[in-house]
């Protein structure tokens, strides 16, 4: 069994946006939102380099990263720690995520290369409302859906 379980898959899918943290050459942090984070298999996440020169430069120098995904209505998610590897057009990884991009966004979106992340560790990210407010997921989802005016 891999690192990524069904709940993690569900959260990555529902979150629609992941935040990728890398380290700049001067040691400072870099955080970049990625709308293409997908679960590739039980041990890997993948996202596209569409317009990410800083993130890519950092990962080519130091492949360590963390990806955070949080379902904003459920107020919970995961932080995935791992290492990145690059896959260009023609590779199975690139073609898989590129096909998804075309199917969901249509033509016209750039796709330079795929960044395959080997996930070494996944930890939960939960709102304090679960622990201290004793809220349930359905209560939080309903409250935040009302706040944001979504269903």
How far is the CA of 53 from the CAs of 4, 49, 57, 91, 121, in angstroms?
A: 28, 8, 6, 21, 26
Q: Is 55 helix (H, G, I), strand (E, B) or coil?
A: helix
State both tokens at 38: 């997908």
pLDDT over 80 at 19, yes or no: yes
Quick: pLDDT tens for 96-123: 999 999 999 988 888 999 999 999 999 9
CA–CA dist 26, 135 (Å, integer): 42
User: Cβ atoms within 10 A of the Cβ of 143, count?
Assistant: 14
Q: Name the average pLDDT for the chain.
A: 95
The pTM for the full model equals 0.93
Q: Averaged over 43-68, what is the pLDDT? A: 97
69 backbone φψ class: left, alpha, beta (φ>0; ψ -120 to 50): beta
45 backbone φψ class: left, alpha, beta (φ>0; ψ -120 to 50): beta
pLDDT at 42: 97
7, 32 Cβ separation under 8 angstroms: no
pLDDT at 109: 86
Q: Averaged over 51-59, what is the pLDDT? A: 95
Backbone angles phi, psi at 146, to 5 degrees: -65, -45
pLDDT over 80 at 25, yes or no: yes
pLDDT over 80 at 151, yes or no: no
pLDDT at 65: 98
State both tokens at 119: 């996930």
């Amino acid at each position: 069994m891999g690192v990524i379980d069904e709940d993690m898959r569900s959260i990555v899918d529902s979150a629609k946006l992941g935040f990728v943290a890398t380290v700049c050459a001067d040691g400072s942090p870099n955080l970049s939102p990625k709308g293409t984070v997908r679960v590739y298999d039980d041990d890997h996440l993948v996202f596209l380099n569409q317009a990410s020169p800083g993130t890519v430069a950092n990962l080519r120098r130091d492949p360590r990263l963390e990806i955070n995904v949080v379902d904003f209505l459920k107020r919970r998610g995961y932080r995935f720690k791992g290492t990145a590897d690059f896959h260009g057009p023609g590779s199975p990884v690139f073609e898989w995520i590129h096909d998804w991009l075309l199917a969901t966004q249509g033509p016209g979106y750039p796709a330079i290369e795929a960044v395959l992340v080997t996930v070494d560790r996944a930890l939960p990210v939960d709102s304090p409302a679960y622990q201290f407010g004793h809220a349930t997921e359905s209560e939080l989802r309903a409250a935040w859906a009302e706040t944001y005016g979504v269903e």
